[in-house]
């Protein structure tokens, strides 16, 4: 099994868990829920970054932070939009739409950078991307049909209108561009121009940027909006933050090796999110979803065997 595949697989499991706990901590009535999620993730990542700086024998400088800043900010912007969308949409709808970003990143690599893949890899990537998109379409159509048949007004927790669905779509495009730039930085394509970082440098830079954003969000809520934050009530957010941080750590190593294949495979963590949401959040998963899940799993299996 290739190293990149193992790291990508670990990322799928970690980010599936992150989605689940982030959704558990996202309450429709809490208009600041997404900022609280940013605070939780930022502080967990900040602690992890400090631990690495103190224990890893590898040099790190502010120059690394600055070089990676555009990528970090794009990722974080996408995540804020994704967290906001969780307040309105079912996880099993939001996650697959968000993770079309993997296909966007793959297309950018193929078109702009002339990346190539074998015929079998192309089939595998197509299976993963088609499965992710079908999952989103099925969930959206079924949710609307069920509410129409039951003649029930849309639950205040879930608004599936154009405004709400626009958030994960915007996430997908921003995250796709960030993943593309990330691949360039980590793969060393522009090393001659000084725009290349190791996995360690990129991960530390991202986590420190997230910590800075968390401090900004904390100041905004406490000083500007006069909100009270009870850490005990935000337990799901912090568990989600731990999963997010673990996934980020393995993600950079997967992207550093084979970004054109890793990006769409990692996007399949939406399947893991859909399964977990069915089990723990009691969101529906009807029979027609199982072939789609098998489709994605087949794609992942082929990538792992290639």
Any idea where the domains of the chain sit in the sequence?
A: 3-305
Instruction: Answer whether 283's CB lies under 8 Å from 96's CB.
Output: no
Taking the CA atoms of 18, 182, 132 and 292 in sequence, report the sign of the dihedral they define.
negative
- Detail the DSSP E strand segments found in 11-70: none
Q: Looking at the whole model, is its pTM more than 0.85?
A: no
Below-70 pLDDT ranges, the chain: 1, 88-97, 99-100, 136, 139-140, 143, 146-147, 149-165, 187-194, 283-285, 303-306
Give dist(CA 250, CA 7) in Å, integer.
5
C-beta neighbour count of 118 within 10 angstroms:
10
Q: What is the DSSP string of 265-287?
A: HHHTHHHHHHHHHHHHS-----T
């Amino acid at each position: 099994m290739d190293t990149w595949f193992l790291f990508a697989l670990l990322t799928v499991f970690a980010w599936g868990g992150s989605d689940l706990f982030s959704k558990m901590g996202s309450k429709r009535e809490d208009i600041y829920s997404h900022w609280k999620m940013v605070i939780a993730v930022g502080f967990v990542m900040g602690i992890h970054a400090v631990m690495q700086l103190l224990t890893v024998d590898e040099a790190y400088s502010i120059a690394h932070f600055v070089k990676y800043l555009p990528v970090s900010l794009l990722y974080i912007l996408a995540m804020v939009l994704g967290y906001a969308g969780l307040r309105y949409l079912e996880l099993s709808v939001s996650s697959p739409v968000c993770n079309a970003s993997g296909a966007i990143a793959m297309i950018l690599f193929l078109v702009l950078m002339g990346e190539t893949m074998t015929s079998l890899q192309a089939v595998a990537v197509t299976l993963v991307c088609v499965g992710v998109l079908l999952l989103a379409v099925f969930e959206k159509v079924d949710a609307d049909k069920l509410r129409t048949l039951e003649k029930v007004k849309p639950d205040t927790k879930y608004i599936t209108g154009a405004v709400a669905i626009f958030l994960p779509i915007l996430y997908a495009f921003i995250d796709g561009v960030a993943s593309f730039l990330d691949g360039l930085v980590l793969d060393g394509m522009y090393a001659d121009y000084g725009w290349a970082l190791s996995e360690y440098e990129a991960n530390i830079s991202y986590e420190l940027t997230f910590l800075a954003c968390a401090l900004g969000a904390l100041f905004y809520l406490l000083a500007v909006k006069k909100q009270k934050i009870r850490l005990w009530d935000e337990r799901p957010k912090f568990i989600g933050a731990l999963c997010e941080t673990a996934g980020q750590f393995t993600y950079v190593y997967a992207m550093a090796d084979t970004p054109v294949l890793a990006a769409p495979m990692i996007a399949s963590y939406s399947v893991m999110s859909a399964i977990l949401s069915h089990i723990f959040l009691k969101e529906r998963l009807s029979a027609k979803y199982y072939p789609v899940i098998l489709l994605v799993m087949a794609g992942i299996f082929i990538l792992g065997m290639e």
